[in-house]
Chain A
Amino acid sequence: DAGVIQSPRHEVTEMGQEVTLRCKPISGHNSLFWYRQTMMRGLELLIYFNNNVPIDDSGMPEDRFSAKMPNASFSTLKIQPSEPRDSAVYFCASSLRGTGRGYGYTFGSGTRLTVV
């Protein structure tokens, strides 16, 4: 298995532009998580899905952020419009529901977003 695949690895965009981050979870995993890592706030959960359904989006910072999971093998995190304070590393992770607690998540390599 190739693991959790995120694209792009790096994204530089101008303030006000739309940004879309993509994630392909591990086949068979039915929980998917989007985390953001910054120096100020560490690793914070933005949203997670179980069986393609959003369960908890309380970490999504504001309405500019949206996430979708149209099927079991694909998810997107969209920022529109982007702002410089959105600059961070965004991680996608997946797990088998119920096992992530004891067996951990599998993380992708992250997307480093820079908004100028």
Chain B
Amino acid sequence: DQQVKQNSPSLSVQEGRISILNCDYTNSMFDYFLWYKKYPAEGPTFLISISSIKDKNEDGRFTVFLNKSAKHLSLHIVPSQPGDSAVYFCAASEWTNAGKSTFGDGTTLTVKP
């Protein structure tokens, strides 16, 4: 049972346009959601997070939206830059198991110049 799902393995966008990466989850006990970015031959790097009590969190070009009723979150990157090309992982953690995050399979974003 995969509790965190990223249904799009890849996404390609033009430089300057918006990138939207999606993530769905099934466990209603999750209370924090995170996005990580990963370049080849490196470990994932934390990007942005959102608490379940919020529906939006913004950090520069990156905004995460949370729809609890739909158990869905998305990461918006505006404007997209070629350096954003990477694998993006969605992750979730639950308050009952505060140290543990469950990751999605990742979406490969390619931003074309």
A42 with B104: CB separation less than 8 A: yes
CB 8 Å contact bits of A7-47 with B (1 = contact, 0 = none): 00000000000000000000000010101000000111100
Question: In B62-113, which residues have CB < 8 Å from any A CB?
Answer: 89, 93, 95, 97-106
Q: Which residue of A lies closest to B46 (CB)?
A: A104
Q: How large is the interface on A (under 10, 10 to 19, 20 to 34, 35 or more residues)?
A: 20 to 34
- Asked if A104 and B34 sit within 8 Å, CB to CB, the answer is yes
Main secondary structure of the interface of A (DSSP, over half): strand
- Residues of chain B contacted by A100 (CB below 8 angstroms): 93, 98-99, 101
B30 CB to nearest A CB, Å: 10
Q: Are B43 and A45 in contact, CB atoms less than 8 angstroms apart?
A: no
Inter-chain CA distance A98–B101, complex, in Å, is 12
Q: Is B32 within 8 A of A101, CB to CB?
A: yes
A73 at the interface (CB under 8 A from B): no
Q: Are A110 and B36 in contact (CB under 8 A)?
A: no
Cα separation A56 to B104 with both chains bound (whole Å): 19
Q: Please indicate the chain A residues that have their CB under 8 angstroms from the CB of B43 in the complex.
A: 4, 91, 93, 107-110
Q: Select one of B31, B44, B49 contacting A107, CB under 8 A.
A: B44
Residue of A nearest to B49 (CB): A102
Q: Are B41 and A109 in contact (CB under 8 A)?
A: yes
Q: Return A98 CB to nearest CB of chain B, in Å.
A: 6
Contact B49 A104, beta carbon cutoff 8 Å? yes
Q: How far is the CA of A48 from the CA of B93 in the complex (A)?
A: 13
Instruction: Give every chain B residue within 8 A of A104 (Cβ-Cβ).
Output: 34, 36, 46-47, 49
Q: Contacts of A42 on B, CB cut-off 8 Å?
A: 103-106
B28 at interface (Cβ–Cβ under 8 A)?
Answer: no
Could you list some 24 contacts between A and B, CB below 8 A?
A42-B104, A43-B105, A45-B100, A48-B99, A56-B100, A91-B43, A91-B44, A93-B43, A97-B98, A98-B98, A101-B34, A101-B93, A101-B95, A101-B101, A102-B34, A102-B51, A104-B34, A104-B36, A104-B46, A105-B44, A106-B46, A107-B36, A108-B43, A109-B41
Chain B residues with a Cβ under 8 A of chain A: 31-32, 34, 36, 41-47, 49, 51, 89, 93, 95, 97-106
